[in-house]
Amino acid sequence: MNNTPPPIVEIHDLSRLFGTLHAVDTISFTMQTGQVVGLIGANGAGKTTLMRMLATLDQPTSGSISILGADAIMHPELIRHRIGWMPDDFNVYNNTTVRDYLDFFARAYGLKGNTRRDTVNRLLEFTGIPDLADRFIDKLSKGQKQKLGLARMLVGDPELLILDEPAAGLDPKARLDFKQHIHDLAKQGKTILISSHILSELSEMCSDLIFMDNGKIIKSGTQDELLQMASAETDIFIRCIGDPAPLVRWLENRDGWQRIVPLPQGASAVCTLDSDEALSAELKALCLELPILEFTPRRRNLEEAFVSILSEHLPPIPPQA
């Protein structure tokens, strides 16, 4: 008997065309309850178009979207109140205070009396802006507006949160605050899809990642899986005794070493040998010829993994005539 709960989001062969442009091109993936998934891609990769379709703000050209067991394309009214949407920018109303703004949306969700007041106060506290409750929105900083946008998204206590570039343009303190909010929401069991081109930030917030390019998903998985998929290459710092020049020459004259960078105490280089056994043999040979103090493998970061994975999917350069 399979006790695995059904996915909260299930997308199959989803496409969105604008004329002949495939903004989203036959993509499929699922999200489980409580997952925090990062959506990574350059500008124009299709991230925002995908998120707008999930938020029921845009209709796909083809494919299916199931959210919380409902057909989000045919019956968006069944799930809109269970989705929180935070765009990369949102319009504000003139002559409106922070409290009045949240109160307006609480009324729109049908909250009344003490329930509405308590909800607004709770969200002001959660996002760290209770002292701004009576300030006009157009007087807020970028970071304060983002916190207000997060509070607005949470008014209806949605189960699925969709955030498009929420940390763009924030100062370091605001970024730290925002990451903490995401961690807190994940602890509450919210399912979160969040896009960014700041990959290091996603690595601190997300359990899983989806890499997009030209409207397609080119890789997806956990961070460790994606880092392992990125390449079989091993980046190593080699520390030696004395002048590093002989070490650099040794590496340059051997097969399997690339991107050799001389350093004051040695060198860093990428080993392209295809097995741990071959790398071990190569390092033993090095130690027999030169006075080596240590080897330190360097873990790739997400930016490097993304570039490596993206390069695998680039079309070949046609030969010149």
Q: What are the tokens at 24?
A: 């989203």
Full-model pTM: 0.77
**Residue 41: predicted pLDDT:** 84
Distances (CA, A) of 166 to 47, 155, 198, 220, 321: 13, 17, 11, 21, 47
Q: What are the tokens at 214?
A: 């030209």
Distance CA 98, CA 181 (A): 19
302 touches 200 (CB < 8 A): yes
Backbone angles phi, psi at 28, to 5 degrees: -140, 135
**Residue 2: predicted pLDDT:** 60
CATH superfamily, domain 9-222, is P-loop containing nucleotide triphosphate hydrolases (3.40.50.300)
Distance CA 224, CA 60 (A): 32
Q: What is the pLDDT along the chain (321 residues), one digit of tens a residue?
A: 566 778 999 999 999 999 999 999 999 999 999 999 999 888 888 999 999 999 999 999 999 999 999 999 999 999 999 999 999 877 777 789 999 999 999 999 999 999 999 999 999 999 999 999 999 998 998 889 989 999 999 999 999 999 998 887 778 888 888 889 999 999 999 999 999 877 777 878 888 999 898 999 988 888 777 766 655 556 889 999 999 999 999 999 998 898 888 998 999 888 888 788 888 899 999 999 999 999 988 666 666 666 666 666 555 444 444
**Residue 94: predicted pLDDT:** 78
Q: Which residue has the tokens 């989001």?
A: 9
Show Cβ contacts of residue 180 under 8 Å, excluding neighbours closer than 6 positions: none
- For domain 232-299, which CATH number applies: 3.40.228.10, 3.30.70.920, 3.30.70.100, 3.40.50.2000? 3.30.70.920
- Break the chain into its structural domains and give their ranges: 9-222, 232-299
**Residue 319: predicted pLDDT:** 46
